[in-house]
Structure 1
Amino acid sequence: MTTTPQQQKPPASLFLYLAYRDATAALGWLGTAFGFEITMSAPDDKGGVAHAELRVGDASIIVFSDDDGCERPPRRGFTIGFGAYLCLAEQTDVDQIHARAVAAGAVSVWQPESTEWGNYRCRVVDPEGYEWTFGTHRPGEPTGDWSDDDA
C-alpha cells in the first residue's frame, strides 16, 4: 500500500475581512483597481453580499455587505490607524497598481516612493474609506540594519 504525505499546512494564516456599504460594487472595484478575482460569492437575502472571497496572488480577502453601518475612523495624518498591506514583487507593480487604483477612483495618500527601510510603496484609500498600502517589502523578512546609529 502506497501512502502519500499530507500537504503541510502553515501554522497560521491571516486574512482580512471588510464590510462594504455597497459590497456588490466593491467586488467589481477591487478587481478593477487591485486585480482581485472573486473565488466565491454568496448573496444575502437583501440583494447584497453575505460572504465573498477574493484573491490576488497568494493574498485573499473576505468581503460582505455592511448592514450595520460600521463607522470608518477619521484620517489622522497619513493613516486611519489600520489598513491592508499587499506585498508586490516589483516596483513597477507598485506603480501600476497605484495608477489603476487612482484611475478607478481611489484617493492617493502616498505616491509610489522609496523608504529608508528598503520598501517601495504607495498608499490609497478606496471609495468606502478603507486604506490600502502596496509595497515590495515582505514583512517578517530581514531587510538589513536601517537603524540610526547617531540617535
Structure 2
Amino acid sequence: MSVTAEVIDSLARLLTEQYVAVYRPDGVYAAGETAITDTVMPEQPNRVVCLTVYGVEESAALTDCAFAVQVRTRAGPDPREVAALDEDVFTVLHGLRHLALPTARITLARRVSTAPLGADTVGRLERTSNYRLLGHRPHARLEYEEPRP
C-alpha cells in the first residue's frame, strides 16, 4: 500500500473509531449511513465524508514530509447538517498528534481552510475543509559519491 493510501485508510479508520462516519473499503453502504470514501464522492448514501490527498511535500535530505488532505462533506439540504458533519471531522482531526502509519508518522494535523461548496445536483449541501498533516517518512537513500579532485 502506498503512503498516500495509508493516510486515507488511517484517517478513515480513525473517523470510524470516533463515530463520525463509517468506512468500508469495499464501498458498500446502507442508505442511512454516513459513508467515508477515498477520493470519489458517490451518488449514495446522502451523507458522505470524502477524503482526498492532493499534495505531498518531501525533503530531499530529511525524512520530513507534509500531506495536504481535502475533507469534502455532504449532507441534506439543511446547511446546519453539513456544518455539523464538518465540525465532527474537525473535532477528530484538528490538532491530531502522533498517528503511526505502517510507513510514516504524522506528528501534527491542522485545518488550514474551510468553505461551503453549495448544493449538488439533487440539493444536498457540501463543504470542504483542507488539512495539512506534518510528519516523517522514510525515503530512498542517496548514493554517496566521493568528491572529485
Same fold per TM (> 0.5)?
no
TM-score normalized by structure 1? 0.35
TM-score normalized by structure 2? 0.35
